[in-house]
Each structure stands twice: as structure tokens, then as C-alpha cells.
Amino acid sequence: MVETRLIDGKAAAAALRQRVAAAAADLAARYATVPSLAAVLVGEDPASEIYVRSKAKATREAGLAGIEHRLPAATSEAELLRLIDTLNADPAIDGILVQLPLPPQINPQRVIEALDPAKDVDGFHPRNVGRLWSGGEALVPCTPWGALLLLRQAMGALAGADAVVIGRSNIVGKPMAALLLAENCSVTLAHSKSRDLPALARRADILVAAVGRAELVRGTWIKPGAVVIDVGINRLPGEGGKSRLVGDVAFAEAQGIAGAITPVPGGVGPMTIACLLRNTLLAACRRRGLPAPEV
Ligand code: NAD
């Protein structure tokens, strides 16, 4: 029986936010520069509203400037692209975040490709994706970067580890695989068509689940001592008509098997916003030719 450590994403995120705030204060004092993030929300998706509001709050708390653009659900793709052009051209804006999902009349890939890659703080533009895979200076997607920071904290060096990532989305799975490869892990990227997922997962020293299926990963899928990063956020009916959040990993079953695991909530989730602040700070420094702080 292994003693399973809890990886505290809340504490790690608070520490990262403090480092960003300290670096932002230093930028303001030395160069009279305040990094600014423009968040664009199209429509009234309730989950997106919550995300944008909490991102705006965290931005202000870190001493960065936040500007919100709220557009009606009927906004056309051309109108959104015009706003992106304006934000791209505005020298006062360092980061642009377009909250996904977008309404069906708008092609998200066209919007992502319209962003100035230097302001693409989500790291979704093909230039940032290419640089991530080819080892250049990229803006890296926030959730996998946050997951990597938690892994480094839990394990120290990752080189040589067998890493299995379940889920191959552009937002989480693929960039996660690129980051683990850059850390010299042997990486397997598994997905809905993978054969014998439990056997693949059992090979992993590092197991990252980014699927969106409640408790898909059972305790028996986990190699004893493995470090498990649960990216999934799934809402299930709870007691008294309330809903409860669970991850992609059966958390109770993982106890006594995993060496360490992130909880849901309180694991990867809080790291995502903290990494967005970090990316905004980095974008501001790089765009303005200032030395980028190590945060
Ligand atoms: P997605 O739907 O875009 O991708 C899911 C991936 O899982 C796909 O590649 C698919 O092939 C794979 N998949 C689906 N069913 C599978 C199965 N039965 N077996 C193996 N693979 C399967 O989702 P996403 O955007 O990558 O998000 C994944 C999860 O992470 C969701 O629960 C989402 O809410 C969560 N998420 C959390 C954060 C955060 O901040 N913590 C950020 C982004 C996403």
C-alpha cells in the first residue's frame, strides 16, 4: 500500500499569482509598464461568464490591467474579427483572450488564427503551437503549463519517466504531450480510439487524464506510486439538488495506489488562471523588449 500525497493546486496557484504580482510591481516601478489583458466574451454561456469574471478578478488582484469586451450571441464572425484586428493594433494591449466556446456562426480556428501570436496568451495560435513543438519561444496553453508546474513540484526532474496523457485536444492533451516530451519523458498520447486504455495507463509513471468523462480512470488503471494529474471537470448530480464536481479519475480508488494526485476541485483548475496571468506578463515583456522575469 502506497501513501498517496495530495498535490495542492490551490496553494501552488496562490504562490504563482504572488510571483506574477511581484514581477508586475517591479515592471511598474522600473519601466512604468502595466501588462494588460483583453478578454472577449461572445454570448451568455453561464460557465464562460464565470470564467471571464474570475479571470478579470485575478488579473486586477495581480496588479495587471483587465479590459472586458462583451458581445451579443448574434455577433457575426466578421464583427468579431474586426474587434480582434483593433486589439491586435492597440499598443496598450499585451494579451488577448477569446473565451471558448464561440456561438455556432463563428469558426473558432479562424478567430484563433487572426490573433497576433505575440498577444495570444492562450497559446492556441499555430505559430505558438509550432514553436512549442519545435522548441522555440512560445506562449504555452495555460492548463497544461499549470499541470507541468504541479508535476515538477511533486517529482522534481521528470526525465526518463513514462508519461501517458489521455485526451488529445488542442487545448490540453496535445500541448501536455509536447511539454512532457520537452522534459525528456517517453510520452504516449491516448484517446477515444486507443486500444486497451487500462493497460496503457498502467505503464505510466506520470498519468494525465484530460478527457471529460467522470471517473473514467479507475484505481486498477494506476501503477503503484504513479503521479496522477486529473484535468477533468465533470458536474454530477449531488445531494439536495446541488451538483458536485468530479474529475476524470476515481479519486477514492486512487488512494493507496497513486504516489500523488491532484484533487478536483483544487488541483489543476486554479493553476489555469494563474498561468494566464503569467502568460500576460511574459507577453508584455517580450512585446516591449523588456527582460522577462522567471515566474
Ligand atoms: P475535449 O472534449 O476537447 O477532448 C477530450 C479528449 O478525450 C478527446 O481527445 C477524446 O479523444 C478523448 N476521449 C473522449 N472519450 C474518451 C474515452 N472514453 N477514452 C479515452 N479518451 C477519450 O476536452 P478538453 O477541452 O481537452 O477537456 C478535457 C477535460 O478537461 C474536460 O473535463 C474539461 O472540462 C477539463 N478542462 C479543465 C481545465 C482546467 O482548467 N482544469 C481546462 C480545460 C479543460
User: Structure pTM?
Assistant: 0.97
- Select from 54, 168, 172, 271 the residue to mutate for testing ligand 1; criterion: most ligand atoms less than 8 Å from CB: 172
232 lines ligand 1 (CB under 6 A): yes
Q: How far is the CA of 29 from the centre of ligand 1 (A)?
A: 41
Kindly report the protein residue whose alpha carbon is nearest to atom 41 of ligand 1. 269
DSSP letter at 255 equals T
Kindly report the protein residue whose alpha carbon is nearest to atom 19 of ligand 1. 192
Q: Are residues 159 and 99 in the same domain?
A: no
Question: Residue 246 falls within a domain, yes or no?
Answer: yes
**pLDDT for 206:** 99
**pLDDT for 194:** 98
Q: Return the closest-CA partner of residue 295 out of 284, 271, 279.
A: 279
Q: Are residues 171 and 112 in the same domain?
A: no
**pLDDT for 238:** 87
Q: Catalogue the active-site residues.
A: 55, 99, 122
Radius of gyration of the chain (CA): 19
**pLDDT for 239:** 87
Question: Residue 255 falls within a domain, yes or no?
Answer: yes
171 lines ligand 1 (CB under 6 A): yes
Q: How far is the CA of 211 from the centre of ligand 1 (A)?
A: 3
Residue carrying the nine cell digits 499569482: 17
Kindly report the protein residue whose alpha carbon is nearest to atom 34 of ligand 1. 233
The CATH number for 94's domain is 3.40.50.10860
Structural domain containing residue 244:
141-270
pLDDT in tens, 117-158: 999 999 999 999 999 999 999 999 999 999 999 999 999 999
Question: Residue 36 falls within a domain, yes or no?
Answer: yes
The CATH number for 258's domain is 3.40.50.720
What is the number of domains present in the chain?
2
* C-alpha distances out from residue 151 to 154, 205, 208, Å: 5, 11, 10
Question: Residue 265 falls within a domain, yes or no?
Answer: yes
Low-confidence ranges of the chain (pLDDT < 70): none
Query: Can you tell me the distance from the alpha carbon of 53 to that of 68, in angstroms, rounded to the nearest whole number?
Result: 9
Encode burial over 129-160: b for 16+ CB neighbours within 10 A, e otherwise: bebbeeeeebbbbbbbbbbbbbbeebbeebee
Q: Are residues 44 and 147 in the same domain?
A: no
